[in-house]
Amino acid sequence: MAEDETFMEDVPSEGEGNAITEYDITASPNDFNVLTIGSYLDSGAIVIPSIQRFFTWDLQRSSKFVESLILGLPIPQIFLFEESKNRFLILDGQQRLMSLYFFIKMKFPRPGTRAQIRAAFKEHKKIPDTMLQDKTMFTDFRIKLPDRDDGSKSPLNDMTYAGLGEYKTRLDLTPVRVVIIKQNEPKDDNSSIKEIYNRLNTGGVNLRPQEMRANLYESDFFRLLYQLNTDPVWRKLIGRPAEDDYMRDVELLLRCFAMLIDGPNYQPSMVRFLDAFSGKAKRTIVGEKLDLAEQIFREFLKGVSALPEKIFEPEKTNRFSIALFESAFYGVARTQWEAGSAAEVAIDEAKIRELEGGIENFLQEGTTKQTNVQGRLNAAADIFNPHS
């Protein structure tokens, strides 16, 4: 889908909620040598963001970075966020760190394989050795540098990490300035990571809210959202066979669960509500609750799969309405979540049509205002559970 295309109604705005939060943050500069950084990357202590825009540099650009380290040329400092003890998220410097990682592994990703490599990082926090040895996915990382002005080759050209000879020790011991940022207050939310990231990356394209949540609140619950996002029924409902590059489809799923579980406590803005729920879900939706969340949603998809194809596309807009979908999900599944038990559901088309009319007044203006959100959820509860 195009970057500027609106494919669903009522998507929370990135600009919602500009309340100022005060933070107590420490930033500690450290000089780690290349060998230490490589060890941190390989152990998973430095976490390559699983869903953040992935590695984009080509072999020549990565080679130039490695050359700069070997020659002792200054490079920009790396920023890491200390999420917990011995676990650091990359705020700025992903391309440089990935280049270093691939060079030490002596493998460079082939074109067209980076989505698979990203998926491996998501699961393993590194690339399994079996994947690194797959010649269909990786080629050897040999330094590739342009010819010098006089037409001669750099002595580093075509070298691998293991074959650097006298340069290897120099590279291993080269210090790299790493700034480690830690949020001391507020505790237990790490919300400053968004502010820090966006300020570090003002020269580029900032991550969308859900891309940022993917790094900030990485959890078993988020991994469930990624799985559910590939469900054929879900993809057909939202009218998009391919997953969204900016994770707006995952954000819709997050919003459905947030409304199901915490909707009665909703307070604007939608962005802050989803951020807070993401942190809560990371801590609490685990084990049996995680299984219950999956079962409830899949049973709901089974129930709507028998309905007309565009049941959640009102005639007035002819596009997927997240407000209608999340309201129906809330109305059908709320009692199951409260009871802690999923069940097969037979969803009446007439009730969806009734709900569409019943929430229309709550979609006219300020769809994410508290009164409108609560009005939609209450209407859904009355329609699907009139005697509760």
Pair 308, 349 in one domain? yes
Pair 250, 323 in one domain? yes
Evaluate whether residue 109 is within a structural domain.
yes
Structure tokens at 298: 């899949």
Evaluate whether residue 91 is within a structural domain.
yes
* Residues 340, 380 contacting (CB under 8 angstroms): no
* Residues 28, 180 contacting (CB under 8 angstroms): yes
Pair 140, 279 in one domain? no
The confidence score (pLDDT) of residue 18 equals 45
Pair 109, 244 in one domain? no
The confidence score (pLDDT) of residue 201 equals 63
Q: Please report, as a single letter, which amino acid is at residue 323.
A: A
Q: Is 136 helix (H, G, I), strand (E, B) or coil?
A: coil
Pair 148, 218 in one domain? no
The confidence score (pLDDT) of residue 126 equals 78
Structure tokens at 47: 């976490």
Pair 266, 355 in one domain? yes
Evaluate whether residue 181 is within a structural domain.
yes
The crossing angle, in degrees rounded to 10, of helices 209-216 and 192-200 is 120
Domain end: 151, 185, 219, which one?
A: 185
Evaluate whether residue 6 is within a structural domain.
no
The confidence score (pLDDT) of residue 54 equals 66
Q: How far is Cα 42 from Cα 308, in angstroms, rounded to an integer?
A: 49
Evaluate whether residue 275 is within a structural domain.
yes
* Residues 49, 187 contacting (CB under 8 angstroms): no
The confidence score (pLDDT) of residue 304 equals 95
Q: How far is Cα 339 from Cα 128, in angstroms, rounded to an integer?
A: 41
The confidence score (pLDDT) of residue 16 equals 47
Evaluate whether residue 4 is within a structural domain.
no
The confidence score (pLDDT) of residue 311 equals 94
Neighbouring-strand partners of residue 108: 139
Q: How far is Cα 158 from Cα 145, in angstroms, rounded to an integer?
A: 8
Domain end: 185, 214, 249, which one?
A: 185
The confidence score (pLDDT) of residue 6 equals 46
Q: How far is Cα 111 from Cα 139, in angstroms, rounded to an integer?
A: 10
Pair 337, 253 in one domain? yes
Pair 265, 371 in one domain? yes
Pair 132, 173 in one domain? yes
HSE-CB for 130 with a 13 A CA cutoff: 2
Closest CA to 386 of 360, 337, 340, 348: 348
**pTM score, whole prediction:** 0.62
The confidence score (pLDDT) of residue 151 equals 77
Q: How far is Cα 94 from Cα 175, in angstroms, rounded to an integer?
A: 17
Count of domains for the chain: 2
Evaluate whether residue 256 is within a structural domain.
yes
Pair 292, 226 in one domain? yes
Pair 148, 237 in one domain? no
* Residues 293, 257 contacting (CB under 8 angstroms): yes
Pair 248, 325 in one domain? yes
The confidence score (pLDDT) of residue 358 equals 94
Kindly give the confidence (pLDDT) of every residue in the chain, 388 residues in length, as a single tens digit, with 9 standing for 90 and above: 333 344 455 554 444 444 446 788 899 999 999 999 999 988 889 886 554 556 789 999 999 999 999 999 999 999 998 888 888 988 888 889 999 999 999 999 998 887 788 777 777 777 889 999 999 999 999 999 988 777 788 999 999 999 999 999 999 999 999 999 988 887 767 777 777 776 776 554 456 778 778 877 888 999 999 999 999 999 999 999 988 877 899 999 999 999 999 999 999 989 889 999 999 999 999 999 999 999 999 999 999 999 998 999 998 888 999 999 999 999 999 999 999 999 999 999 999 999 999 999 998 777 889 999 999 999 999 999 876 5
Structure tokens at 183: 């949020």
* Residue 319 CA to its chain's centroid (Å): 25
Domain end: 117, 152, 185, which one?
A: 185
The confidence score (pLDDT) of residue 5 equals 41
Cβ neighbours around 154 below 10 Å, total: 16
Q: Could you tell me the residue range of the domain that residue 250 belongs to?
A: 206-384
Evaluate whether residue 18 is within a structural domain.
no
